[in-house]
Amino acid sequence: MAENFIGKGSYGHFMRIGEYPSFIGAKYIFIDPNKDSDRYTKEFKLLQKLRHPNIVRFYAQAKTIRDNLTYCVIHMEFCERNSLRHVLNDTELTYSKETVFFWAEHLACALLCLKENQIIHRDIKPENGGIFWKQHSGRLQM
């Protein structure tokens, strides 16, 4: 199965897996052996239960070792436009004030769903890869 590197963050990296049109995303999170590695399993189980059109769907979770490092790998829905920061910086994309309001509504709906499920997202910003835009549906997802 083909893997393509998408980006890197402070806790790991993100890969696109599969062939068009059925890509999935794989978030590789470095596990510090001196910390509670079960934390990621608990977090995944919580996120897997969420069902909302503005929240990225989580499919599976596993541990793997690459280059002598242990990672928690979370397989999730792949959003083809990458992060909202990439969308906002795309000079080929023109969007209206109505589109911005549309995105704000989607973000607010996702945050409300998290609140209703007593989940706190502690790092909401366009560049962290936590906010995605689905090009085919026009949906914003967290």
Tell me the pLDDT of the chain averaged across its residues: 82
Structural domain of 58: 3-141
pLDDT value, residue 42 = 77
CATH code of residue 83 = 1.10.510.10
How crowded is residue 78: how many other Cβ atoms within 10 Å of its Cβ? 21
Residue scoring higher pLDDT (87 or 135):
87
Q: Look at residue 17 in the predicted model and tell me its pLDDT.
A: 92
The string of DSSP letters for 15-51 reads EEES-TTS-EEEEEEEPPTTS-THHHHHHHHHHHT--
* Prediction pTM value: 0.78
- Per mean pLDDT, which of 67-71, 108-112, 128-132, 135-139 is the most reliable? 108-112
Specify the pLDDT at position 116.
94
Percent of all residues in the chain with a pLDDT value above 90, rounded to a whole number: 11
Alpha helix positions (H), 72-129: 84-89, 97-116
- 36 vs 107, residue with greater confidence: 107
Per residue in 73-117, pLDDT tens?
999 888 776 677 777 888 887 778 888 898 889 889 989 999 999
- Number of domains observed in the structure of the chain: 1
pLDDT confidence of residue 6: 84
